[in-house]
């Protein structure tokens, strides 16, 4: 098992419904460590940059408007196989197709307002983490 870092976002729909604590509780209960955390609001232009990979998709404009519509809670998660473990906790993109017990199944509104984001691969995590966090904001998850 490889020790990994991944980026998590609690999206505006979930922050707006007071679900940050519930989602952070699930993350901690899973054993993943939170090594950076903040509440911020993206501008529309910043959301466009973050989701640039989806530029050609029909939902891109709506997604960027939604992701800049209110504050988001951003976390850096660390642990063995953190990338796939966080994706498993999140569940499938569409809450209707997500497995029981996953965050998206339990807390997502629809395929767009699906409560959370997670990096999908090591290269994605390596690009997404510095988009939000600088070195001084990242803490040693194994601090004693
Ligand atoms: P992921 O978040 O599960 O990795 P992606 O395909 O990377 O899913 O899509 C990024 C985000 O775009 C999704 O989390 C969701 O908010 C939104 N999205 C994905 N597919 C659709 C769609 O078909 N309609 C509207 N929004 C979508
Ligand atoms: Mg994705």
- Give the whole-angstrom CA distance, residue 4 versus residue 46: 25
% residues pLDDT > 70 (the chain): 97
Domain ranges across the chain: 3-137
First to last CA, the chain: 22
- Residues with beta carbon inside 6 Å of ligand 1? 54, 59, 63, 93, 111-112, 114, 117, 120
> Above 50 in pLDDT, residue 144?
no
- Give the whole-angstrom CA distance, residue 138 versus residue 76: 8
Q: Using alpha carbons only, give the angle 108, 10, 54 rounded to the nearest 5 degrees.
A: 80
Nearest listed ligand to the Cα of residue 104: 1
> Above 80 in pLDDT, residue 26?
yes
Nearest listed ligand to the Cα of residue 109: 1
pLDDT of residue 1: 77
- CA of 144 from ligand 2 middle (Å) equals 33
- CA of 31 from ligand 1 middle (Å) equals 26
Catalytic residues: 117
CATH fold label, 3-137: Alpha-Beta Plaits (3.30.70)
Q: For residue range 29-85, what is the model confidence (pLDDT) as tens digits?
A: 999 999 999 999 999 999 999 999 999 999 999 999 999 999 999 999 999 999 999
Residues in a beta bridge with 7 = 76
Q: Using alpha carbons only, give the angle 31, 37, 38 rounded to the nearest 5 degrees.
A: 150
Q: Which atom of ligand 1 is nearest to the CA of 93?
A: 3
Please report which confidence band the pLDDT of residue 111 belongs to, taking 50, 70 and 90 as the band edges. Answer: very high
More confident of the two residues 144 and 11: 11
More confident of the two residues 26 and 140: 26
pLDDT of residue 142: 66
> Above 70 in pLDDT, residue 137?
yes
């Amino acid at each position: 098992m490889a020790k990994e870092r991944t980026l998590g976002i609690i999206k505006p729909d979930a922050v707006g419904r007071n679900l940050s604590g519930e989602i952070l509780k699930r993350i901690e209960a899973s054993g993943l460590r939170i090594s950076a955390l903040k509440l911020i609001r993206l501008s529309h232009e910043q959301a466009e940059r973050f989701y640039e990979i989806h530029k050609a998709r029909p939902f891109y404009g709506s997604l960027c408007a939604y992701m800049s519509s209110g504050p988001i809670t951003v976390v850096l998660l660390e642990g063995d196989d953190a990338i796939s473990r966080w994706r498993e906790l999140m569940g499938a993109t569409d809450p209707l197709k997500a497995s029981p017990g996953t965050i998206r199944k339990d807390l997502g509104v629809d395929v767009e307002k699906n409560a959370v984001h997670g990096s999908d691969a090591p290269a994605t995590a390596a690009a997404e983490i510095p988009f939000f966090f600088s070195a001084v904001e990242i803490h040693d998850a194994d601090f004693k």
